[in-house]
Structure 1
Amino acid sequence: MSFSQGLSGLNAASQALDVVGNNIANSQTVGFKSGSIAFADVFAGSQIGMGVTVAGVNQNFTDGVLGQGASSLDMGISGNGFFRLTDDAGRTFYSRNGQFQKDENGFIINNQGMYLNGYQATGTPPTIEAGAPVGPIQIPTGQMPASASTSGTMAGNLSSEESAIDQTEHPFDPSDNKTYSSVSQVDAYDSLGNKHTINVYFVKTGANEWKAYSSDTTAPVMNGDTPQYGEITLNFDPSGQLTTNPAQLNVASAAYNGAEALDFALDMDGMTQQATKTAMDNPSTNGFPPGLMNGYSVSENGQIIASYSNGQKQLLGQVVLANFTNPGGLSSSGNNCWTETPQSGQPSVGISGTGNLGTLYGGKLEASNVDLGAEMVNMIVYQRNYQSNAQTIKTQSEILQTLVNLR
């Protein structure tokens, strides 16, 4: 009987050393989770045991240290959750290895060619709609199209110290600076991304009263040979606050280089009149020209945001995470991946930081959680265990030899 006991001990210690060796070999594998072996004793209807068996190898899903990644698509998870991956056959895998890159079609893949799953942003501008399906995320390679200006703002102060201009004697004429008190500029863009420079002229016409005129100097609207201007009267109370409501100055242009003509309003509700110099506070419009992609980054909620040469940013997609009631029940499938089993339960899928899911960090990578010091100690212990079991077999052999020699 003792031969089988010692042999079971040798087998168990050998498998334990296999687990330790695998942990040490993967101490530098991104997202690797160390394993630990569990033993169980064996009885067969007597008080003397039959030896030991390996009850299983358990995975340790504690976090590894997050370090700096080498790519803008590198990602690391802190807390619960796994990346959801699919292969070309549609099979689903789960991983903590956040080393990702683009393939030739712009899809985000890992080193084994599996597709990272999430929500794809669609529409103009791109957004993620409620109920969007979970699937591979693709980063578009084309440029961001132009967006025509449809609104704008101009706020600032008009100096109450300016002298009023008699428009009967000096009607407004942008070519004659004696017919206006000050001028400001704001840029706008048409449907093809052509830049239009809009001049806004301010004329003080009386106490607490001003007129504002708009002119698209790039593509002015003409009535025969006469330019047409947007116009609004701005009235202020004795404390310098604007009383005109709403204060909307129309901006219009002629069609330019094949684009649609501009036609929008500048919101001037933020204008004041005080006894200081006339100054505008960074007037702006909401349009922009076309732009080429400069790069992209991943935010903590898993959103992939692209930046463009026109100064704009755009949502491309959002990475999802998956978690299980019993992660220890997942089945290891190699390549730092696991698959769902009845013991793990079904996955709950969501975005970073919601429910029981951890936080996703862009530009980070999760290191292996292997503790090399502890593994070296375990290796010594299992080696001694192996030697001791070998010694019991040797002792039983000597006892048996003694019995044989009795004849």
Structure 2
Amino acid sequence: MLRSMFTAISSLNLHQTYLDVVANNLANANTIGYKASRVVFQDQFAQILSPGASPSANSGGVNPIQIGLGSQLGYISPIFTQGMLQATGRNMDLAIQGDGFLVYDSGAGLRYSREGSLSMDSDGFFVNSSTGMRIQGWMTNGGTVDPNLPPSDIQIQAGGTLARSTESAIIGGNASADTAVGDTISTTMGLYDSLGNMHTATVDFTRTGPTLGDPLAVPPVPANPDNTWSWSVTDPAGAVGSGTITFDPNGQYSASTVGTAVSIPGGPGANAVTPTFDMTSMTMLASDTSVSVTSQTGLPAGSISDVYITPKTGEVFLIYSNGMREQVAQLAVARFNNSTGLIKTGNTMFQQGLNSGEAQIGLAGSGGRGTFAAGYLEASNVDMAQEFTNMILAQRGFQASSRVITTSDEILQELVNLKR
């Protein structure tokens, strides 16, 4: 008679655990990146009263007689279904679509999470906004990342600047056809060196007189029609550069040459500026002179104004005040052969478990890893309707086991009363 009471007690304990898991799921229904847990029951060892018998020539077999001794906890494991993505409008909020985890350094080993609310601390490290753990990835080296290296902290140096040296310039406008041979027209331009220093250079266009040329000279002297101009570059620092430009009889650009490549000395510590000139939009018409530099590729030094993380791949770019952007890092994604084998450590973080397998850390979108959704956070995947159903099941299971204990007690009471 006591067997039923101990069996019911095991069920009470188990359904209490079931209710504990349901309560924890409901408590984290609004926790970013939380993964709901589920409970699996198993029966306990069964007492064999009779092993049964096998069939014989004259009789059939007999089944064993077994009495179960209750239930026990099989396992509790997280459910890694995709949670709903919630738009935040904040670029440093990240969610992962698909399999994988963001990688953090806790100071006591790596941690893995689906919660990607990031911020930058006072030292320039990218950290989890809730825990301060530093997110892991790869800093660029020569503009690229090497995911074969172990991931490391991502840090942005404060006060960084970036400039772009002028590599090309477009010179347009009209060189008046009324300009006399030997006369010069000029235009000035601002060009930038590799450190963002601006250099003001002057380009002089001189109309050259017609010559017949001398093909027998060494070297040969080509003919020079009167719609050919020479150009040269000067500046106070000693710039050099020269060439010619030729127009057709309709005053449209025909050809240009470079005699001496343009080179403008850079500022202290900067490389020389060596731009090429595009003069294809110039004309030589009988109207006023209007030659000018219409555009050039250089930019002055700009300071960091924003940080941008690309969707899908998780590349980290710095945005500068001059409009330039520079990739400085790329975030890592980890996946496991058995994610349910991970160990929860709190703060929606996991650590590698004995049965999770080794972390496979690499780039987003490769090797079965999911991709990033920048400007989104992943909501909890707790299903409220399912959890309330589980709550009812836990309650009814607890009530049924309690009734078994009550009934067993009443029967024991009857046995005690038999002596009267």
The answer to whether the superposition gives a TM-score over 0.5 is: yes
Instruction: Name which one, 1 or 2, has greater alpha-carbon Rg.
Output: 2
Q: Provide the residue aligned with 1:364 in structure 2.
A: 376
Find the counterpart in structure 2 of residue 349 from structure 1.
361
Shift of 1:61: 0.6
CA contact (8 A) 1:208 1:236 kept: yes
Q: List per-residue Cα deviations over 1:276-335 (Å, max 9, x = no partner).
A: 9988894213x4332221110111211111111222212221110000111111111222
In 1, distance between residues paired with 2:292 and 2:413? 106
5, 8, 14: which one pairs with 2:16? Answer: 14
After TM superposition, the score normalised by the length of structure 2 is 0.79
20, 30, 33: which is aligned to 2:32? 30
How far has the Cα of 1:347 moved from its partner? 1.6
Unaligned 5+ runs, structure 1: 175-182, 222-227
Instruction: Give the equivalent residue in structure 1 for 2:242.
Output: 231
Aligned counterpart, 1:163: 177
Does the 8 Å CA contact 1:298/1:361 hold for their aligned counterparts?
A: no
1:114 maps to which residue?
133
After superposition, the C-alpha distances for 1:55-89 in whole angstroms (9 at most, x for unaligned) are 01121111111113375422111111101111223
Distance 1:15 1:314 in 2: 52
How far 1:15 sits from its partner (Å)?
0.7
> Is 2:418 the partner of 1:406?
yes
1:197 aligns with 2:200: yes
* 3-state SS in 2 of match to 1:283: strand
C-alpha displacement of 1:127: 4.2
Tell whether 2:110 aligns with 1:92. yes
Q: Which position in structure 2 is the counterpart of 1:266?
A: 276
Q: How does 1:202-221 map to 2 (within 5 A)?
A: 202=205, 206=225, 209-216=228-235, 219=236, 221=238
Does 2:159 correspond to 1:142?
Answer: yes
Q: Give the CA deviation at 1:238.
A: 7.8
CA contact (8 A) 1:204 1:210 kept: yes
- Any conservation in 2 of the 1:330–1:341 contact (CA below 8 Å)? yes
Cα distance in 2 between the residues matched to 1:360 and 1:32: 17
Q: Is the Cα–Cα contact under 8 Å of residues 214 and 250 in structure 1 kept in the other structure?
A: no
- Please say if residues 232 and 248 of structure 1, whose CA atoms lie closer than 8 Å, have aligned partners that are also in contact: yes
Q: Is the 8 A contact 1:143 1:290 kept in 2?
A: no
Amino acid in structure 1 at the alignment position of 2:24: N
Distance 2:280 2:185 in 1: 26
Which of the numbers 300, 325, 330 marks the counterpart of 1:289?
300
Q: Structure 1 residue 113: deviation in Å?
A: 2.6
Contact 2:266 2:273 in 1 (8 A): no
1:299 to 306, 310, 315: 310
Change in Cα spacing, 1:252 to 1:392, as seen in structure 2 (3 Å) is same
Deviation at 1:105, TM superposition (A): 1.6
Partner of 2:79: 60
3-state SS in 1 of match to 2:404: helix
Q: How far is 1:366 from its partner? A: 1.0
C-alpha separation in 1, matches of 2:411 and 2:181: 126
Q: What amino acid sits opposite 1:266 in the alignment?
A: T
Q: Structure 2: 5+ residue runs without aligned partners?
A: 49-65, 209-224
Give 1:152's aligned residue: 168
1:101 lines up with 2:103 in the alignment: no
Q: AA paired with 2:199?
A: H
Where does residue 63 of structure 2 map in the other structure?
none
TM-score, structure 1 length as denominator? 0.82
Looking at structure 2, the residues matched to 156 and 133 of structure 1 have their Cα atoms a distance apart, in angstroms, of 52
